[in-house]
Amino acid sequence: MNRKWDLFISHSSEDKDTIVRDLARLLDNLGVKVWYDEFTLKIGDSLTQKIDEGLVDSSFGVVIISKAFLNKKWTDYEYRSLLSKEDTFKKVILPIWHNISIEEVKEYSLFLADKFALDTNRQSIEEIVKKLLEIVRPDLYESFNRLLLFKKITQNGDAKKVDILKLKWGDRQRDNLTQAQINRIKSFYYSIGQMFETNLDDTLNCYLYDHHPDREIHVWEMMNVTFIEFLKETKITNRAKKKEVAKQLVAISMGTLSKDTSLTVEELTRLYYIWKSNFHPF
C-alpha cells in the first residue's frame, strides 16, 4: 500500500524550537514526505481529522520523546495510534529521546523503552536524519551521505586556487555512453548546462568516470526542468541572474541552500517549491 506521507512526527509543542522544526525542515528539504503540523495544517482544518489522516497515511511515525511529551494527552493518543500499527512485527515507531532518561521512558512505556532509540544528547541532527533516511527513504540515504562527506571535506580543508589542468581523474568506469544517455545529457546541457563554463565534450566525458551515470543524469534532468519552469514564471533574462539560479539549484539538489546569493527570499523560496514539485526519486 502506497502511503501519502513517509513519516508522521509526533511531538510536544514545547520541543518545536529545540529539535522538531529543524528536523522536519531538513527532512522535507531532502525530499522526505513529512506529516508535520506546520507543513500540513491549513486554517479551518479539523485538527483531529487531519492528525488521524496523518497517522493512518504515514509509513512511519517519528516520536520525539521528552518530559513534555510524556505529560500530554494528545501525544499519548498519537503514540497509541502508532502503536496499533505495529502488528506482525512491522516496525513503525522510530523513537528519538530528547533530554530524557531511560528511567523516565520506562515509567511511561516499557515497550518504548525497549526500542533502540536515537538521542539528541548523543547525536547531531544530521546524524539523526541520516539514521532516519536509512529506514524511511533508503533511496535518499546515499545522496545524504555524499552531502555530509562534501561538508566534512570543505569544513576541514583549506581553500586554495588550483590549476584545473593539474587535477587528476579517478578510474574510468566505462568506455562509452549509450546514445540514449548522450541525448539526455544534451537535453540539459543546452539549457541549464550553458550556465556553467564547460563544453559538451568535457561534460560527456565526466559521465565515463561516474559510478552511477543514470542517477546523475536523472538529477540534472530534474534541475533542468525546474530551471526552465522558474525562468518562464519569473521572466528572468539577465544571464548573471540565470547563472545564480543554476548555482542555487545545484545546492538545492544536495539538500542545502547557499546564503551568498543575489536571489530574493521570495525567488529562492519559489525556486525551492518548483524543485520540490518536480522531484521524484531515482
The secondary structure of the chain, three-state, reads CCCCEEEEEECCHHHHHHHHHHHHHHHHHCCCCEECHHHHCCCCCCHHHHHHHHHHCEEEEEEEECHHHHCCHHHHHHHHHHHCCCCCCCCCEEEEECCCCHHHHHHHCHHHHHCCCEECCCCCHHHHHHHHHHHHCHHHHHHHHHHHHHHHHHHHCCCCCCCHHHCCCCCCCCCCCCHHHHHHHHHHHCCHHHHCCCCHHHHHHHCCCCCCHHHHHHHHHHHHHHHHHHHHHHCCCCHHHHHHHHHHHHHHHCCCCCCCCCCCHHHHHHHHHHHHHHCCCC
Domain for residue 153, yes or no? Answer: no
Q: Are residues 178 and 128 in the same domain?
A: no
Q: Is the pLDDT of residue 272 over 60?
A: yes
Beta bridge partners of 253: none
Q: Are residues 136 and 240 in the same domain?
A: no
- The whole-chain average pLDDT of the chain stands at 81
Among 147, 179, 202, the domain-final residue is: 147
Q: Is the pLDDT of residue 59 over 90?
A: no
Position 153 confidence tier, pLDDT thresholds 50, 70, 90: very low
Give the relative orientation of helices 73-83 and 47-56 as an angle to the nearest 10 degrees: 30
Domain for residue 119, yes or no? Answer: yes
Question: What's the domain count of the chain?
Answer: 2
Q: Are residues 109 and 212 in the same domain?
A: no
Domain for residue 160, yes or no? Answer: no
Domain for residue 136, yes or no? Answer: yes
Q: Are residues 79 and 177 in the same domain?
A: no
Q: Are residues 139 and 196 in the same domain?
A: no
Higher pLDDT, 120 or 46: 120
pLDDT more than 70, % of the chain = 76
Contact in structure between 181 and 217 (CB atoms under 8 Å): yes
**CA nearest neighbour of 274 among 220, 225, 215:** 225
Of 68-72, 142-146, 235-239, which has the strongest mean pLDDT?
235-239
Domain for residue 158, yes or no? Answer: no
Q: Are residues 135 and 27 in the same domain?
A: yes
Domain for residue 159, yes or no? Answer: no
Q: Is the pLDDT of residue 14 over 90?
A: no
Q: Are residues 142 and 15 in the same domain?
A: yes
125-151: average pLDDT = 75
**Residues of the domain holding 176:** 165-278
Q: Are residues 272 and 206 in the same domain?
A: yes
Q: Are residues 11 and 80 in the same domain?
A: yes
Q: Are residues 10 and 61 in the same domain?
A: yes
Q: Looking at the annotation, which residues are catalytic?
A: 78
- pLDDT for position 152: 54
Higher pLDDT, 148 or 256: 256
Domain for residue 154, yes or no? Answer: no
Higher pLDDT, 218 or 38: 218
Q: What is the pLDDT of residues 73-126, one digit of tens each?
A: 766 767 667 766 666 556 788 889 999 888 888 888 777 777 888 999 988 888
Higher pLDDT, 132 or 70: 132
185-213: average pLDDT = 90
Among 114, 147, 180, the domain-final residue is: 147
Q: Are residues 136 and 237 in the same domain?
A: no
Q: Are residues 195 and 138 in the same domain?
A: no
130-134: average pLDDT = 87
Higher pLDDT, 222 or 69: 222
Position 141 confidence tier, pLDDT thresholds 50, 70, 90: confident
